[in-house]
Amino acid sequence: MNRSNFINQLERTKEFDICIIGGGATGLGTAVDAASRGLKTVLFEQHDFAKGTSSRSTKLVHGGVRYLQQGNIKLVMEALRERGLLLKNAPHLVHNQKFIIPNYKWWEKSFYGIGLKIYDKMAGKLGLGPSQFLSKEETLQFAPTLDPEDLKGGVLYHDGQFDDARLAISIAQTAAHHGAAVLNYFPVNGLLKMNKKICGVWVKDFFTGKEYEVKSKVVINATGVFTDTIMKMDDTKHENIINPSQGIHLVVDKDFLPGDTAIMIPRTDDGRVLFAVPWHNKIVLGTTDTAVKEISPEPIPQQQEIEFILTHIGRYLTKDPQLSDLRSMFAGLRPLVKSKSKKTAALSRDHLICIGDSGMITVTGGKWTTYRKMAEDVIDIATETFALTNNLCITKELKLHGYDKGVMPAATTLLSIEELKAAIKKSVEEEMCMTVEDFLSRRTRQLLLDAKAAITIAPLIAKLMAEEMNKDEFWIKEQINNFNLIAKSYTFTAKQQL
Ligand SMILES: Cc1cc2nc3c(=O)[nH]c(=O)nc-3n(C[C@H](O)[C@H](O)[C@H](O)COP(=O)(O)OP(=O)(O)OC[C@H]3O[C@@H](n4cnc5c(N)ncnc54)[C@H](O)[C@@H]3O)c2cc1C
């Protein structure tokens, strides 16, 4: 992927078929779907790809055992099908993960065990392995740091796990491979209309300040928690449809849960599920569900959320993680749809697609696991509504970029200078990595794995990136300052002391 080439493409193209606002899972997936059907496609992301919710998930590709508990069979079936497709098409970034539900009450083993047998059946041919009933001894073999007192046994099941930001980059590269222009650091600042019908967008290159008027037959709003902002640009009378809900994750060292098996706690005090999942040699603990009013590109974990996770996970482990054990913490905002628009064209259980009076299409809600299906649905609707040539969707069978190659190392701190230089070169040349934060947060996952280590290595990364990108001392200083400002909220501070 090359940003300058995409800008040339932007300048050369008189009119696109599909213009997508938002470069998270939904927008990028939509770009792949459109471009691979042969449609002239452009995508604009205001920050970096996946800077929003799509780099801050629990990293599970799952059918949703929770939805099964709620009896939402259709949603689980759809997600299980998508889980299977993702494992097939992106094996470099998605893998089969074992989970254990520990049982401390006599009824839990049969209750969860039977539920998970249904989950296996529903996955059918795309299943990842049968669930199993475990004795207490077997459970402790898989998860030796589970609290053994009163432990009756456990149920083992399989789901998918992935690297969300890396998958987003791979999807962007796939879209580019099929001819889409995908531009990061390109905010959409306005919508173009003719006779009250949408016909394009106003965008601005964040780095040069240059503005562009971009014409497109279809404009798709895929901006996650920012959905309402774009809908208000389209219609000033628009009433909000998104209820943002914050979820945080805490990251601790592997010795809190050695081995390769994750733990799933099916019911916390507030009725949610809680996970402890091995990820790139650390353990990710989460998540929470906190209604928030402010939508920030860098949401900050709240003290009570940190406390909630530490308290709950502490009940199940022999060694309780403390605040001082946290290597990193990160927060994301769920784009939960609160009301269904009257103009709903398709509502696939938890994602919403609607068309405004101007013809702007909005796609929102859903989850990472179902991004491909959301993309297929929205492009089906776009091609039908606007009578575009409709080649059939091919993404069920489409291998994602890099599926046959090695993956970028997740942590930078163990790399030699030569390896670091190679990783930076690849990120800058092939992955549109523009800033130190892009590199440490989403091209590698250093900031999410160990925030203090990321802060320590940031000056070296800035220097090496400056060499690669031909930047000066001023750029280096600015990059380090910007990075440190963001990284601060990934480390705990005295203020957050419980
Ligand atoms: C805590 C948490 C845990 C989760 N865990 C999982 C999980 O384990 N598995 C799973 O399947 N799902 C999970 N999800 C859900 C999943 O992460 C989201 O559904 C998904 O990432 C949403 O993607 P999106 O593209 O719709 O939104 P986003 O990723 O937020 O993308 C929208 C993008 O639009 C951009 N944008 C906004 N305004 C403009 C503009 N004017 N111009 C240009 N760009 C703009 C934003 O910068 C942003 O990058 C989780 C969500 C949360 C919050």
Asked if residue 184 and residue 236 are part of one domain, the reply reads yes
What are the pLDDT digits (tens) for 467-497? 999 999 999 999 999 999 999 999 976 455 5
Q: What is the pLDDT of residue 341?
A: 46
Rounded to the nearest whole angstrom, what is the distance from the C-alpha of residue 53 to the centroid of ligand 1?
A: 3
What are the pLDDT digits (tens) for 167-201? 999 999 999 999 999 999 999 999 999 999 999 99
Of all protein residues, whose CA lies closest to atom 26 belonging to ligand 1? 224
pTM of whole model > 0.75? yes
- Count of C-beta atoms within a 10 Å radius of residue 74: 10
Q: Is 247 near ligand 1, meaning CB less than 6 Å away?
A: yes
Asked if residue 355 and residue 275 are part of one domain, the reply reads no
Q: Which residue has the higher pLDDT, 88 or 412?
A: 88
* Encoded tokens for 287: 């998540």
Asked if residue 157 and residue 76 are part of one domain, the reply reads yes
Inform me whether the pLDDT recorded for 76 exceeds 90: no
Asked if residue 145 and residue 126 are part of one domain, the reply reads yes
Inform me whether the pLDDT recorded for 344 exceeds 60: no
Atom of ligand 1 nearest to the CA of 54: 21
18 is in which domain, residue-wise? Answer: 3-53+166-240+339-385
What are the pLDDT digits (tens) for 222-256? 999 999 999 999 999 999 999 999 999 999 999 99
Say whether 400 sits in a helix, a strand or coil: coil
Domain with residue 31: its CATH number is: 3.50.50.60
Q: Is 442 near ligand 1, meaning CB less than 6 Å away?
A: no
Q: Is 223 near ligand 1, meaning CB less than 6 Å away?
A: yes
Rounded to the nearest whole angstrom, what is the distance from the C-alpha of residue 324 to the centroid of ligand 1?
A: 29
Domain end call among 296, 317, 334:
334
Tokens 């456990």 locate to 154
* Encoded tokens for 166: 């890396």
Rounded to the nearest whole angstrom, what is the distance from the C-alpha of residue 108 to the centroid of ligand 1?
A: 34
Q: What is the pLDDT of residue 68?
A: 76
Q: Is 97 near ligand 1, meaning CB less than 6 Å away?
A: no
Let me know if residue 325 belongs to a domain.
yes
Rounded to the nearest whole angstrom, what is the distance from the C-alpha of residue 133 to the centroid of ligand 1?
A: 35
Let me know if residue 8 belongs to a domain.
yes
Q: Is 365 near ligand 1, meaning CB less than 6 Å away?
A: no
Rounded to the nearest whole angstrom, what is the distance from the C-alpha of residue 24 to the centroid of ligand 1?
A: 5
User: Using omega within 30 degrees of 0 as the cis cutoff, is the peptide bond preceding 229 cis?
Assistant: no
Q: Is 57 near ligand 1, meaning CB less than 6 Å away?
A: yes
Let me know if residue 115 belongs to a domain.
yes
Asked if residue 269 and residue 134 are part of one domain, the reply reads yes
Q: Is 275 near ligand 1, meaning CB less than 6 Å away?
A: no
Q: Is 25 near ligand 1, meaning CB less than 6 Å away?
A: yes
Alpha helices in 275-392 (DSSP H): 303-314, 371-385
Dump the DSSP string for 423-452: HHHHHHHHH---SHHIIIIIIS-HHHH-HH
- What span, in angstroms and rounded, lies between the C-alpha atoms of 231 and 404? 40
Domain with residue 117: its CATH number is: 3.30.9.10
- What span, in angstroms and rounded, lies between the C-alpha atoms of 274 and 343? 36
Q: Is 246 near ligand 1, meaning CB less than 6 Å away?
A: no
Let me know if residue 235 belongs to a domain.
yes
What are the pLDDT digits (tens) for 35-44? 999 999 999 9
Rounded to the nearest whole angstrom, what is the distance from the C-alpha of residue 25 to the centroid of ligand 1?
A: 6
Let me know if residue 408 belongs to a domain.
no
Asked if residue 447 and residue 487 are part of one domain, the reply reads yes
Asked if residue 272 and residue 206 are part of one domain, the reply reads no
Number of domains in the chain: 3
Rounded to the nearest whole angstrom, what is the distance from the C-alpha of residue 51 to the centroid of ligand 1?
A: 8
What are the pLDDT digits (tens) for 204-225? 999 999 999 999 999 999 999 9
Asked if residue 478 and residue 444 are part of one domain, the reply reads yes
Asked if residue 249 and residue 228 are part of one domain, the reply reads no
Amino acid at 481: N
Of 492, 22, 164, the C-alpha closest to 300 is 492
Rounded to the nearest whole angstrom, what is the distance from the C-alpha of residue 333 to the centroid of ligand 1?
A: 7
Q: What is the pLDDT of residue 340?
A: 54
Asked if residue 247 and residue 236 are part of one domain, the reply reads no
Average pLDDT of span 382-403 = 94
- What span, in angstroms and rounded, lies between the C-alpha atoms of 285 and 313? 8
Ligand 1, from 26, 46, 53, 184: best to mutate by most atoms within 8 Å of Cβ?
53
Q: Is 373 near ligand 1, meaning CB less than 6 Å away?
A: no
Q: Which helix or strand (DSSP H or E) is residue 73 part of?
A: helix 73-89
Inform me whether the pLDDT recorded for 133 exceeds 70: yes
Asked if residue 202 and residue 143 are part of one domain, the reply reads no
Q: Is 51 near ligand 1, meaning CB less than 6 Å away?
A: yes
Q: Is 46 near ligand 1, meaning CB less than 6 Å away?
A: yes
Q: What is the rounded average pLDDT for all residues in the chain?
A: 93
Let me know if residue 409 belongs to a domain.
no
Q: Is 27 near ligand 1, meaning CB less than 6 Å away?
A: yes
CB 153 within 8 A of CB 272: no
φ, ψ at 44 (rounded to 5°): -120, 130
Of all protein residues, whose CA lies closest to atom 49 belonging to ligand 1? 52
Q: What is the pLDDT of residue 430?
A: 96
Rounded to the nearest whole angstrom, what is the distance from the C-alpha of residue 152 to the centroid of ligand 1?
A: 38
Atom of ligand 1 nearest to the CA of 203: 42
Backbone angle region of 366, left / alpha / beta, with phi > 0 → left and psi within -120 to 50 → alpha: left
Name beta bridge partners: 354. 344, 362
Atom of ligand 1 nearest to the CA of 187: 42
* Encoded tokens for 348: 């696939």
Inform me whether the pLDDT recorded for 348 exceeds 50: no
Let me know if residue 407 belongs to a domain.
no
Q: What is the pLDDT of residue 80?
A: 93
Q: Is 299 near ligand 1, meaning CB less than 6 Å away?
A: no
Atom of ligand 1 nearest to the CA of 366: 19
Q: Is 368 near ligand 1, meaning CB less than 6 Å away?
A: yes
Rounded to the nearest whole angstrom, what is the distance from the C-alpha of residue 92 to the centroid of ligand 1?
A: 21
Atom of ligand 1 nearest to the CA of 27: 25
Let me know if residue 405 belongs to a domain.
no
Asked if residue 220 and residue 282 are part of one domain, the reply reads no
